[in-house]
Every structure is written in structure tokens, then in C-alpha cells.
């Protein structure tokens, strides 16, 4: 928009008008910088003076100048001067890295609104799209440059993402995008690069469990192979055989069976990793273990496997010490010191550290890896990388995982992944070495477009903070199912990442469920929880209106119907289960 | 060694896959198949029983376990359980022959350890009974401490599959989804249809492979599995209660030439024991558990004894992560209800379930060449006063009562709330025996006494 204006005012205008317009333009940019990271396109040439360039992991060039022009790194060197039309970026003594690459996530893919799905009469034989089997779908259909997640991840230094469609078992094919503001078809760098697979079921239809998903995958895979070979046979000599039936799901999976398209297999736990590896051994596709969270337990086995690995950038939260203290001060608990609990707590602490140390232990074992942002919160990403470094991951390896490893994985190392003359100007600039605890990202370049964070104050959503007192807290609830009264508590807290909701049924207090798809509008709160019964997932949608210290509304589950829910705020929440 | 093992368990490092060497010295050996041997040694080498005899000479440095005064029997086998699997029922379709709980093994399930604490070394991890034809099952070895699910498998054990009769498939599909089967007749029809389709499917592939037809048939994993049952490659384990239905299924199997079947639960098995024996079907029963739904009212504690006396290979199973801890008591009940001999009673939890799972050549009795799976008890395992002392799988100690850590979970989610084993099982934080009383007592002089008693006795 701005750049368009600029072009119109070229020439013909008197000097005064030009200056006025230019001042107005600068003001506009100033306002923009205050409000967002919107790019300012005064010029497409930029100059970084006296910066520390990290050309590739493990190297540093201090006191260098960098020229960025027309989307590319035009020049890097000592004593190069700024081109006449270059905008000088206030980056003196800052640190310049190659832009980070998110190896796998749903960045740029908006969450689909949960529409009423068609009623399934026979859950054992659902249509493939209802069953979550849509390998033919390309993320290009759903990627939106306006999605908030793009800006969020860019502000952490990410300039590229391998984004996959959302869905269940086989949601579709992922593509590598520039995290620019361009539409999908312009931002895409590698089209339909990989296929996504996960042990995640579509609600209440076949396959509804991990065993169903694995069986279905085997069958689909075999039929895809059969279709491919039948097609070849038919093409060479169709006489006497029927024309192959091109079922879209089977045909879409064929490149995976031919190892022409890798399978990004979401495998967080060690059990899931082993299941993915077992399927790979059996069927023979190119496996990329994705969003691995508990990989350290099986490092020795992974070393033997020769698979590609993407570690999750999600880390468990450390337990707040205050909660522990409140437990300790409870007289009864302090008397009945429980050996079992003590053992458990020791293991929990140990497990927490193991999570933080995962990347470091992979490095120690000589394994290469990239990072996936599939399940991490945008605001935690840099914090978590720093934590991994604090827990022993070398800065060199961290940078490799964010730049050169993914660039190699996606086959774009000649275009990006390092800071070199002639490569894409995908850069991240921080005030201190980026893995240092107090560093912050000041500028990000995505293919030569600058995103300025130097003015941005640390964000804290003041707006939402205000109305916390009304909604936050523990609420009791009661649902009348017609046959019985279901009661329990709903615990609502505001965290940095937004609201967190935990629903604890009274008759099943040891299995609290965490709410998702949380939305608060005026006084209306909507969210969903998924419970599991005999391996079957049931999703309940809550829709309640809050009036002062009570609420009313309804809870619905597709299979079970609609029920009325009422509740009240618990005045002084206590540990209701500290009974002896 | 056990201390070392526990450290490993606690910190989640990998234990060796098994195949240990150990000498069990001077125990009372209950071989099950070859009588009892007093003051005898057993030497396990590389996970297999290498020698049984008095004063065995073994390589120097071999780990030795003194079993003087203790009772040494083969590891207990549970022919029906659902532990160590992440999914039990793919309940969306009345026939899910293609799914396999072996794809969802979970080596971190603490139930494995609790089973070991009851001397159980092998269990049959089964699909549930929601579908007339459920999924395939997995025979697992209780190698608690391994991290790779594959290492739980008893490699080479025959394939098995779960079938179900009666109320469960009718309730789930007929009542739940308004599809067949809605009646017991419908359940029969699911079997007949599946076997007929499976036969046709096998024929289609046979014709294609022989070149009789040119079009490649579709691959159907469900029918592929049914075809394997027809071929005799998979043993059916069928959830059943009523005698009429048991006879029905035997007739269906006869019609399709299928021979390998073990009836599970089979509470009315005593009514059709001769018929079961004639068919060659086996039976895996509860000792005395019934009346949890309508079709399970007509039951008797004499079931196992009646079936045994009629020549049916019978076992006693748990179907429960709690009952699996005391299967030796369950077996002992057949001596009260049916006067079975020691060997007959112990066979119900050793060699007989092994036969039902097709692994009797490898486990189920103490014989040279068989796997080194051993349960050691303080007193005779059929005595009500006995307690499990130690459990060995493939020559590796996996449970030792002298080193029984209060918390044996291996994998912990750091964000998980602490739940005691007691709470997990009962839903209560603590037992309620002293509710309200304790608070009163805490104010009094009894507080220190109580503290002492509690720390001694209540460490669950």
C-alpha cells in the first residue's frame, strides 16, 4: 500500500509536497512500527553496519557490514559502504543469523471452525474425509498469509515453515513457505514436499484408536502400491485388464510408497516413535520422526535406525513451587509422609530435566535433528531453545537445528540456511547472541522484507488481564443427564498463553481433562474437552453464559446429545480431595 | 543386582532384553509335568533352563539365589488380560479382525510389574469384547524395564484373535449404533458372513496369483486376517458365557473347518463340557466371578473342576490388572470347589494356558530346554498363607519382594498430577478407615504413635 503511494509521487511534484508526503509516510511507518511488525518498503536495499555475522553454525565474523538488496544478500564484508539508496538499520554490534526454519507445524493454517459434521449412521464405515484420511489435500488450499501464527513465529526469528494441513490420521501434504506476508502460491518455496501422518483419530468413527489407525494405514499403503504397479502395467499394455481405479487417497499416497515424498510421522512419545519405526521397517517409506518429545529414552535404538528426527520445541512447564508449599503446610500430609509420593516426585523432577536435556543428549549421541513447532506455543519457542542450551545443547548445534539441518532436509541449502553472499535475505538479528538468556530479536528479514521489532515492548495482553477476575477461579458445575447428576469443578486460570481450563469430574477426580478451542466473548465462554472411554474419544462442547458468580448453558456431545449445565464460583477454593 | 535393577527402573534406563544366567539353589521344585523335586537346583543359562538336579556345578561367578525352604514353580501364565496395551477396543465396527493390540504395546504400564509381583511372567494381552470379531491379540513376556514395546512380545508365539458372543457386541452395535448385530442371531451372522467373504477373498488372490485372472484384487487386511483364521494360522479366543451360544460357535467353526478355539470366561461351560472336549476346544475361566451382567448369572465355582474332569484343557485367567496379582489363590479355589489335585490346580495357571496360547513347548512347566520363567513362593503357591518371593523372566530377576520399591512407575509425565496406586485403583486419596478420627487423634498424645504405625504399615 505504502510503496504504491511512493511511486505515484515520483517527479513532477514540488519539493515541499514531496517532503510533506515523505514526512507523512515516515509517520505512517512509525505508527505501524508501534502497532505491528508490518514491513516498511521505503526501499528494497538495506545496510547493516558493524554487525557480528554468524555465517554458519560455529563461526562468527565481527565488525562486518551487510548489504541486502532486492531480496538477496548482496554483499558481506569489512569496510563495504552503504549503497546510496540503502536504508541503514540501527543494528550496530548486533548479531546476524540465517533465518530459522520450522521443520514442521501448522503455522499459517487457521484452525477450522467445528461445524456440525454430517450424522454418521455407520461409524464403522465412514467416508475417508470424515475418517481423517485426506492425503490428497495440499496445504496450499488452507494456508492463509493473514494467519496470526505467521507473524508470531516470525517474531521469534523464523523465516520459513514446512506447514501441514490440520486434521487427523492423514491430513495431507505439507509445503515449505517463506514466512512473508505473501499469499500461499507466492510464498511457497517447496510445493507438496512431505506427507503428514499421526496417531490421531477422527472422533468416534473408524479408525478410532491407535490400533485402528495402524491397520488402516497398512491397508491403504498396500493398495496404493498395488494401484501404482497396476497403473504401470496398464500403461505398458492395457489389453485384457481393466482400467485402474484411481481412488484419490491411494493415488496421493503413491509417492510415499516410492520414497519420493517423505512421511512426517508425528511421534511424541517413545512408544509412538517405536510404532512409527516398526511401520517403516514393515513398509519401507522415508520416515521423518516429527515432534519427538520423549526421544532420549531410545537414543541408542535411534542411532541404529538411520531415520531423520525433528525434536519438539515444546517443553513441559516447571511446577510452581508455591503449589508444593501449600501441600507441605497441610498438617495431615506432613504427618503421613508417603514414600510412594516421594519416589514419584523424584522421578518427576528427573523426567523434567530429561525433557530439557533431550536435544543435548541427542547431540551427545552424535544425532542430527531439526526442530518442529507443531505443539509449542509461539511465545515459548525462543525461551525453550534457550532452555535447551542452558541444559547442555551447544549453541552451534542449536543453530544447525534451526538453519542448516532443515535447509538440507528441504533441499534449499543453496538458497538459504547460512548467511552468504547471493543467498536469500532470510535473516534474524538480535541484540545479544541469540541463545543468551536476555537476548531479544530486533529485526527479521524474510526474502529482503524487513520486520522491525526494535520498538516493540514486551507484550502482555493488558486487555485480557482486566477481566480475569470475573472468569478466573474454580467453578463448581452440575450437569443433568436425565438419568443422573454429574458434578465436578472447572478450573479457569489465565496464563501467558491465554486461558487454561481444567475440568475435573467429581466421580473421576484423578482424570481431569484440559479444555481446548477456548473462546471468551463478552460473558459467553465456549470450550471443548475430550474424554476417553475404552479407547473411544468423546468430545464435549461447553457453551455457558457467565453472570456474576454463576453460569448456565449447555454441554453437547455428538453421540450423546445436549445437556443443561449450571455452576457457581467456589468462593475460597480448597484442595477438596485432601481427605484422609 | 536387584538394587541395580531398581536403580535402572527408577531412572528409566534400558535393562537388558533378558537372557540371563542364574542358579536357583536347593528349592522345592514344582515342575507341574514331571512331579515335585525336593532340595533341587535349577540352572538357567542364556534365558533357558539348562539343568535341573541336585548340587549342580555351574560356571564360577554365576548369580546364585538360595531357595532353601522356598517353592519354585514355572512362571504363571494369564490367558486373558488387557495390561500393557494402549488400546483395547476398536469398537466402531462389529468386525475389526485387521487391528492388532500388538501394535499398541506399552512397556511402561506399571500393571506389568504388579503382575510380576504375583508370579505372572506371561500374559495374553487381548482386544476387548465390543465386536463380534475383535482384533488380534499379543502374547507378551513381562520384561518390565524394557523401553521398546517390541521387547515385550513373546517372539514366535502363535497369532491369536478375539471373538465375542452375547451382550457386549449387541449392546455396542445393535443398541449403540443401530446396526447389526442387534441380537444373538445377528452375532452368528457376523461370523458366517466374515468367513464366507474371507473364503472368497482368498480365492480371488489365489486365482490372481495362479494367473487365472488378470486384474489385481484389492488388498483387504480384514479379510486377509479372516482368511488366515480359515487357514488355521490364528487361534480364536472367544468371549462367551451362555451354553447355547458356545454350541452355536462350535457349529459355525465346524461348517468352515476351523479347529483352533479357546472359549474365554465360558461361565456356562460346565453345561457343555463333553461337547467342548469332543470339539477339542479349550476353556479359560474365572474361579468365582459372575453376576456382573444378566448373561453371567448362571455360574458356579465348580466350573474349572467340571471342565477339567471332562477332559477340557482349562485355565484360570484374570481379565483384570488386580486379579492378575493373585492367580495362585484363584487356582487354589478349585481345591475347595472340586477337589483338584495340586498338579491339576497349578496346571490351570501354567501348562494349560500355555497350551491355549500355543506356547506349551516353551513355557508352562519346569523342564530342561524351556524358557527360564520362574515364580518363587515363600510357601506352597496353593497355600492361602503364601507370598510371592521372586519372579524371573528369561533368567532375569524382574521382581524381588526384598527390593520392592514403593513407586515402580518408569515413565512419568512431568506435568502429571501425583496419584497413588491406591487412588488410581479406588478413586479415593486415602483409605477411609480412620476418616475424622485421625484429625481428632492428631491433637492428642496418640499423634506420635500414629505417625509410627502409619510409616510402618501404610506405605501404599
Mean pLDDT of B275-286: 98
Domain-located, residue A28? no
Residue A339: list chain B partners with CB under 8 A: 406-407, 459
Contact A373, A401 (CB under 8 A): no
Q: Closest CB to A208: pick one of B90, B128, B438.
A: B90
Query: How far is the C-alpha of B251 from the C-alpha of A94, rounded, in Å?
Result: 82
> Does A120 reside within a domain?
no
Give the one of B14, B135, B434 whose C-beta lies nearest to A211's C-beta: B135
* A204 touches B: beta carbon within 8 Å: yes
Give contacts of B417 with chain A, Cβ < 8 Å.
510, 512
Give the CB-side neighbour count of residue A511, counting CA atoms within 13 A. Answer: 11
- Contact (CB<8Å) A215/B100: yes
At residue B351 the predicted structure's pLDDT band, cuts being 50, 70 and 90, is: very high
B308 grid coordinates: 477339567
Q: Among partner residues B215, B412, B451, which is closest to A347 by beta-carbon distance?
A: B412
How would residue B445 be classed by pLDDT, with cut points 50, 70 and 90?
Answer: low
B404 touches chain A (CB under 8 A): no
Enclosing H/E stretch for B254: helix B243-255
A324 touches chain B (CB under 8 A): no
Q: Which CATH number fits the domain that encloses residue A53?
A: 2.30.40.10
Whether residue A326 lies inside any domain: the answer is yes
Q: Among A459, A488, A522, which residue terminates a domain?
A: A459
Q: Which residue among B99, B148, B216 places its CB closest to the CB of A226?
A: B216
Q: Are residues A159 and A174 in the same domain?
A: yes
Q: Which domain holds residue A359?
A: 101-108+137-216+265-277+287-416
Is A335–B447 a contact, with Cβ atoms under 8 angstroms apart? yes
When CB atoms are compared, the residue of B149, B177, B429 closest to A578 is B429
Banded pLDDT at A151 (limits 50, 70, 90)? very high
Q: Return d(Cα B133, Cα B197) in angstroms, integer.
A: 14
- CA dihedral (B120, A275, B221, A131) positive or negative: positive
Cβ–Cβ contact B96 with A under 8 A: yes
Q: Are residues A269 and A386 in the same domain?
A: yes
Question: From the CA of B161, how many Å to the nearest CA of chain A?
Answer: 14
* Residue B380: half-sphere exposure toward Cβ, Cα within 13 Å: 13
Q: What is the mean pLDDT of residues B130-146?
A: 97
B430 to A215: CB separation less than 8 angstroms, yes or no:
no
Of A294, A87, A504, A273, nearest to B411 by C-alpha is A294
What angle in degrees, to the nearest 10, is found between the helix axes of A339-364 and B2-11?
A: 70
Of B332, B333, B276, B286, the residue nearest B309 (C-alpha):
B276
Exposed (0-12), middle (13-18) or buried (19+): which is A408, by Cβ within 10 Å? middle
Residues of B in contact with A341 (CB under 8 A): 407, 418, 420
Give the bridge partners for A529, in sequence order: A540
Residue A24 has pLDDT above 60, yes or no: no
- Contact residues, chain B, for A507 at CB < 8 Å: 427
Q: Kindly report, residue by residue over A154-210, the tens digit of the pLDDT.
A: 999 999 999 999 999 999 999 999 999 999 999 999 999 999 999 998 778 999 999
Boundary (domain end) residue, out of A459, A486, A515: A459
Q: What is the pLDDT of residues B414-435, one digit of tens each?
A: 888 888 777 777 777 767 776 6
In a domain, A20, yes or no: no
pLDDT of residue B442: 62
The answer to whether B99 contacts A297, with C-beta atoms less than 8 Å apart, is no
Query: Are residues A292 and A181 both part of a single domain?
Result: yes
- Sign for the pseudo-dihedral over CA of A226, A228, A233, A239: positive
Q: Which DSSP string do the residues of A502-513 spell out, in sequence order?
A: EEEEGGGTT--E
Q: Does B89 lie at the interface with A, CB-CB under 8 angstroms?
A: yes
Q: What is the pLDDT of residues B234-249, one digit of tens each?
A: 999 999 999 999 999 9
Is residue A195 domain-shared with residue A335, that is, in the same domain? Answer: yes
pLDDT digits (tens, 9 = 90+) for A402-459: 999 999 999 999 999 999 999 999 999 999 999 999 999 999 999 999 999 998 655 4
Is the minimum CB–CB distance between A334 and chain B shorter than 8 Å? no
Q: Determine the pLDDT at residue A114.
A: 65
Residue B336's alpha-carbon distances to A282, A363, B80, B270, B310, in angstroms, are 50, 62, 23, 17, 18
Could you tell me if B15 and B1 are in contact, meaning their C-beta atoms sit under 8 angstroms apart? no
Tell me what pLDDT residue B246 has: 98
Q: How does pLDDT run across B101-118, given as a tens digit for each residue?
A: 999 999 999 999 999 999
Out of A211, A343, A512, closest to residue B407 by CB: A343
Which residues, including other chains, have CB under 8 Å from residue B263's CB and lie 6 or more apart?
Answer: B238, B240, B246, B249, B269, B276, B281, B282, B283, B284
Is the predicted pLDDT of residue A250 greater than 80, yes or no?
yes
- SS3 state at B120: strand
Q: What is the mean pLDDT of residues B15-42?
A: 90
- How high is the pLDDT of residue B406? 83
Give me the domains of chain B, ranges plus CATH numbers.
Answer: 1-74+364-416 (2.30.40.10), 76-362 (3.20.20.140), 421-457 (no CATH)
What pLDDT is stored for residue A202 in this prediction?
A: 77
Average pLDDT, integer, range A299-322: 85
User: What is the per-residue pLDDT for B460?
Assistant: 39
Residue B453 forms contact with A (CB below 8 Å): no
Q: Does B420 touch chain A (CB under 8 A)?
A: yes
Query: A576 in a domain, yes or no?
Result: no
Asked whether residue A368 falls in the same domain as residue A391, the answer is yes
In terms of domains, do A426 and A538 share one? Answer: no
Look at residues A352, A383, A416 and tell me which one is the last residue of a structural domain: A416
Distance from CA of A471 to the nearest CA of B (A): 24
H or E element in which residue A498 lies: strand A498-505
Per the domain annotation, does A362 fall within a domain? yes
Between A530-534, B162-166, B194-198, B401-405, the lowest mean confidence (pLDDT) is in A530-534
State residue B35's pLDDT score: 96
The alpha-carbon radius of gyration of chain B (Å, integer) is 24
Q: What percent of chain A has pLDDT over 90?
A: 59
Any idea what the CATH number is for the domain that residue A164 is in?
3.20.20.140
- In whole angstroms, what is the distance from residue A82 CA to residue A85 CA? 8
Same domain, A502 and A565: yes
Closest alpha carbon within chain A to B98: A215
A461 grid coordinates: 495482553
A344–chain B nearest CA distance, Å: 6
Q: Do A201 and A291 lie in a common domain?
A: yes
A540-570 pLDDT, tens digit per residue, is 888 888 887 888 888 887 666 777 888 888 7
Minimal-distance CA residue of chain B relative to A344: B407
Subunit contact B90:A212, Cβ cutoff 8 A: yes
| Domain annotation covers residue A18 | no
Any idea what the CATH number is for the domain that residue A467 is in? Answer: 2.40.128.120
| CA dihedral of A387, A389, A390, A392, whole degrees rounded to 10 | 130
Each residue of A300-319: b (16+ CB within 10 Å) or e? ebbeebebbbbbbbbbbeee
Q: Across the interface, do B414 and A351 touch by the CB < 8 Å criterion?
A: yes
Domain shared by A63 and A49, yes or no: yes
H-helix segments, A284-320: 299-305
**Residues of chain B with C-beta less than 8 angstroms from the C-beta of A205:** 92
Q: Is A240 on the interface with B (CB under 8 A)?
A: yes
SS3 A30: helix
Query: B439 by DSSP, 3-state: which?
Result: helix
Mean pLDDT over B430-442 rounds to 66
Which three cell numbers, joined as nine digits, stand for B116?
Answer: 510380576
User: Which of A401, A461, A462 has the alpha carbon at shortest distance from A157?
Assistant: A401
Judge if A377 and A523 occupy the same domain: no
Are A292 and A391 part of one and the same domain?
Answer: yes
Number of domains in chain A: 3
C-beta atoms surrounding A362 within 10 Å = 23
Residue A360 lies in a domain: yes
Distance between CA atoms of residues A358 and A292, nearest Å: 9
User: How far A62 CA sits from the closest chain B CA (Å)?
Assistant: 42
Cα–Cα dist A5/A24, whole Å: 11
Q: Are residue A310 and residue A323 in the same domain, yes or no?
A: yes
Amino acid at each position: 500500500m505504502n510503496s504504491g503511494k511512493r511511486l505515484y509521487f515520483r517527479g513532477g511534484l514540488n519539493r515541499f509536497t514531496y517532503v510533506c508526503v515523505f514526512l507523512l509516510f515516515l509517520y505512517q511507518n512509525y505508527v505501524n512500527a508501534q502497532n505491528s511488525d508490518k514491513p516498511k518498503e521505503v526501499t528494497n536495499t538495506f545496510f547493516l553496519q558493524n554487525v557480528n555475522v554468524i555465517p554458519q553454525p560455529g563461526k562468527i565474523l565481527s565488525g562486518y557490514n551487510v548489504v541486502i538488496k532486492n531480496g538477496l544478500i548482496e554483499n558481506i564484508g569489512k569496510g563495504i559502504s552503504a549503497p546510496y539508496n540503502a536504508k541503514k538499520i540501527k543494528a550496530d554490534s548486533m548479531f546476524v543469523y540465517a533465518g530459522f526454519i520450522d521443520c514442521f507445524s501448522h503455522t499459517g493454517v487457521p484452525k477450522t471452525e467445528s461445524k456440525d459434521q454430517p450424522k454418521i449412521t455407520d461409524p464403522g464405515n465412514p467416508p475417508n474425509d470424515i475418517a481423517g484420511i485426506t492425503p490428497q489435500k495440499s496445504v496450499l488450499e488452507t494456508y492463509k498469509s493473514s494467519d496470526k501464527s505467521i507473524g508470531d513465529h516470525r517474531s521469534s526469528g523464523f523465516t520459513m515453515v514446512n506447514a501441514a494441513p490440520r486434521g487427523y490420521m492423514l491430513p495431507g501434504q505439507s509445503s515449505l513457505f517463506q514466512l512473508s506476508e505473501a499469499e500461499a502460491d507466492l510464498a511457497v518455496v517447496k510445493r507438496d514436499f512431505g506427507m503428514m501422518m499421526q496417531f490421531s483419530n477422527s472422533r468416534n468413527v473408524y479408525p478410532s484408536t491407535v490400533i485402528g489407525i495402524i491397520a488402516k494405514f497398512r491397508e491403504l499403503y498396500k493398495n496404493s502400491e498395488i494401484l501404482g504397479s497396476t497403473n504401470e502395467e496398464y500403461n505398458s499394455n492395457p489389453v485384457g485388464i481393466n482400467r485402474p481405479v484411481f481412488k484419490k487417497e491411494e493415488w496421493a499416497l503413491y509417492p510415499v510408497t516410492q520414497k519420493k515424498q517423505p512421511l512426517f510421522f508425528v511421534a511424541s512419545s517413545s512408544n509412538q516413535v517405536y510404532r512409527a519405526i516398526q511401520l517403516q521397517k514393515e513398509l519401507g517409506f522415508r520416515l521423518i520422526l516429527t515432534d519427538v518429545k520423549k526421544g532420549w529414552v531410545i537414543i541408542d535404538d535411534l542411532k541404529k535406525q538411520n531415520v531423520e528426527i525433528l525434536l519438539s520445541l515444546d517443553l513441559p512447564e516447571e511446577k510452581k513451587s508455591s503449589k508444593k508449599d501449600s501441600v507441605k503446610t497441610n498438617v495431615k500430609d506432613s504427618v503421613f509422609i508417603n514414600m510412594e509420593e516421594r519416589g514419584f516426585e523424584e522421578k518427576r523432577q528427573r523426567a523434567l530435566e530429561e525433557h530439557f536435556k533431550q536435544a543435548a543428549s541427542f547431540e551427545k549421541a552424535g544425532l542430527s535433528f531439526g526442530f518442529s513447532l507443531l505443539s509449542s506455543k509461539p511465545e515459548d519457542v525462543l525461551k525453550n531453545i534457550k532452555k535447551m542450551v542452558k541444559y547442555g545443547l551447544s549453541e552451534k548445534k542449536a543453530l544447525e537445528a534451526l538453519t542448516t539441518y532443515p535447509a538440507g532436509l528441504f533441499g534449499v541449502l543453496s538458497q538459504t540456511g547460512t548467511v552468504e553472499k547471493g543467498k536469500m535475505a532470510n535473516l534474524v538479528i538480535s541484540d545479544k547472541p541469540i541463545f543468551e538468556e536476555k537476548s531479544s530479536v530486533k529485526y527479521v528479514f524474510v526474502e529482503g522484507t524487513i520486520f522491525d521489532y526494535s520498538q516493540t515492548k514486551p507484550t502482555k495482553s493488558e486487555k485480557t488481564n482486566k477481566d480475569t477476575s470475573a472468569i478466573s477461579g474454580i467453578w463448581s458445575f452440575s450437569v443433568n443427564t436425565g438419568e443422573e447428576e454429574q458434578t465436578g469443578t472447572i478450573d479457569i486460570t489465565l496464563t501467558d498463553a491465554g486461558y487454561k481450563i481444567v475440568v475435573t469430574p467429581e466421580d473421576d477426580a484423578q482424570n481431569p481433562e484440559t479444555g481446548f478451542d477456548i473462546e471468551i466473548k463478552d460473558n459467553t465462554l465456549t470450550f471443548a474437552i475430550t474424554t476417553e472411554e475404552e479407547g473411544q474419544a468423546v468430545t464435549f462442547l461447553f457453551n455457558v453464559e457467565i453472570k456474576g458468580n454463576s453460569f448456565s448453558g449447555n454441554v453437547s456431545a455428538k453421540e450423546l446429545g445436549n445437556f443443561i449445565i449450571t455452576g457457581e464460583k467456589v468462593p475460597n477454593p480448597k484442595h477438596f480431595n485432601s481427605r484422609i | 543386582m536387584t538394587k541395580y535393577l531398581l536403580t535402572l527402573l527408577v531412572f528409566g534406563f534400558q535393562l537388558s532384553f533378558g537372557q540371563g544366567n542364574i542358579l536357583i539353589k536347593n528349592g522345592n521344585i514344582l515342575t507341574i509335568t514331571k512331579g515335585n523335586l525336593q532340595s533341587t537346583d535349577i540352572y538357567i543359562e542364556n534365558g533357558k533352563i539348562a539343568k535341573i538336579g541336585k548340587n549342580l556345578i555351574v560356571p564360577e561367578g554365576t548369580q546364585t539365589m538360595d531357595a532353601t525352604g522356598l517353592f519354585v514353580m514355572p512362571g504363571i501364565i494369564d490367558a486373558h488380560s488387557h495390561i500393557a496395551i494402549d488400546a483395547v477396543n476398536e469398537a466402531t465396527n462389529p468386525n475389526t479382525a485387521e487391528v492388532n493390540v500388538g501394535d499398541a504395546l506399552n512397556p511402561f504400564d506399571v500393571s506389568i510389574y504388579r503382575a510380576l509381583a504375583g508370579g505372572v511372567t506371561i500374559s495374553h494381552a487381548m482386544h476387548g469384547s465390543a465386536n463380534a470379531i475383535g482384533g488380534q491379540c499379543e502374547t507378551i513376556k513381562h520384561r518390565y524395564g524394557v523401553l521398546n514395546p517390541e521387547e515385550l512380545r513373546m517372539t514366535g508365539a502363535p497369532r491369536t484373535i478375539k471373538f465375542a458372543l452375547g451382550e457386549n457386541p449387541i449392546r455396542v452395535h445393535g443398541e449403540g449404533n443401530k446396526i447389526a448385530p442387534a441380537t444373538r442371531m445377528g452375532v452368528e451372522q457376523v461370523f458366517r458372513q466374515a468367513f464366507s467373504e474371507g473364503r472368497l477373498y482368498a480365492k480371488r488372490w489365489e486365482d490372481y496369483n495362479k494367473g487365472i485372472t488378470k486384474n489385481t484384487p484389492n488388498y483387504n487386511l480384514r479379510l486377509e486376517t479372516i482368511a488366515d483364521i480359515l487357514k488355521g494360522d490364528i487361534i480364536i479366543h472367544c468371549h462367551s458365557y451362555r451354553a447355547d451360544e458356545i454350541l452355536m460357535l462350535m457349529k459355525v467353526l465346524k461348517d468352515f473347518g476351523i479347529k483352533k478355539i479357546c472359549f474365554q470366561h465360558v461361565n456356562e461351560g460346565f453345561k457343555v463340557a463333553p461337547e467342548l472336549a469332543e470339539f477339542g476346544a479349550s476353556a479359560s475361566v474365572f474361579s468365582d466371578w459372575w453376576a456382573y451382567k444378566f448373561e453371567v448369572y448362571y455360574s458356579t465355582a465348580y466350573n474349572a473342576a467340571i471342565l477339567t474332569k471332562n477332559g477340557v484343557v482349562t485355565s484360570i485367567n484374570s481379565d483384570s490388572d488386580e486379579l492378575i496379582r493373585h492367580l495362585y489363590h484363584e487356582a487354589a479355589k478349585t481345591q475347595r470347589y472340586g477337589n483338584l489335585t495340586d498338579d491339576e490346580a497349578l496346571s490351570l495357571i501354567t501348562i494349560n494356558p500355555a497350551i491355549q496360547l500355543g506356547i506349551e513347548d516353551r513355557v508352562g512347566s519346569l523342564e530342561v530346554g524351556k524358557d527360564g520363567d520362574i515364580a518363587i513362593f515363600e510357601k506352597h503357591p496353593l497355600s492361602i498363607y503364601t507370598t510371592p518371593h521372586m519372579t524371573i523372566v528369561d533368567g532375569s530377576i524382574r521382581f524381588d519382594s526384598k527390593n520392592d520399591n514403593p513407586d515402580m512407575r518408569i515413565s512419568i509425565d512431568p506435568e502429571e498430577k501425583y496419584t497413588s496406586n491406591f487412588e488410581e485403583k479406588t478413586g479415593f486419596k486415602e483409605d477411609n478407615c480412620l476418616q475424622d478420627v485421625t484429625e481428632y487423634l492428631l491433637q492428642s498424645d496418640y499423634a506420635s504413635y500414629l505417625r509410627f504405625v502409619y510409616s510402618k504399615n501404610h506405605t501404599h
